[in-house]
Amino acid sequence: MIALIQRVSEANVVVDGVTIGEIDKGLLVLLGVEREDDVAKMQKLATKVMSYRVFSDENGKMNLNLEQAGGSLLVVSQFTLAADTGRGLRPSFSGAGTPDQARELYQAFVDFCQSKGVNTQTGEFAADMKVSLVNDGPVTFNLQV
């Protein structure tokens, strides 16, 4: 399971001209599901995302996690993160989770974060989405479990 996280001052997702998810300060999470992923990996990754210290403390050091910084999550399904780009000029998606598996783990990720009290907004699984963000830093990390 892969989470590309970006620290943002604002982010939103638009589907068919309608904003369906929007946050101010927080993390935009692009979430990719791979074939071998399961609920245990999802919980480990979600916990890591919520606990990762990427927000600045009073000394300007990245020492605060999402909760300590008072931030929110915007979680967007990102199938292409599971691509194998190691050979040739066309990505292979043979390692990506099936649509049913990915939908289930994506929703479980969102539910898990919400159950921990985190304001969690979403995109729409498998939709054509327009994602806008203001990357704060810029700060971007690729987390995997």
| CATH code that applies to domain 2-136 | 3.50.80.10
Q: Give pLDDT tens digits for 105-138.
A: 999 999 999 999 999 999 999 999 999 999 999 9
Rounded to whole angstroms, the Cα distance separating 74 from 77 reads 10
pTM score of the predicted model: 0.96
Which residue among the candidates 19, 47, 68, 79 is catalytic per the annotation?
79
Task: With H, G, I as helix, E, B as strand and everything else as coil, classify residue 107.
Answer: helix
78 in active site: yes
Task: With H, G, I as helix, E, B as strand and everything else as coil, classify residue 136.
Answer: strand
79 in active site: yes
Which residue among the candidates 6, 78, 120, 121 is catalytic per the annotation?
78
Q: Give pLDDT tens digits for 15-70.
A: 999 999 999 999 999 999 999 999 999 999 999 999 999 999 999 999 999 999 99
Listed by start position, the domains of the chain span: 2-136
Which residue among the candidates 19, 80, 85, 144 is catalytic per the annotation?
80
47 in active site: no
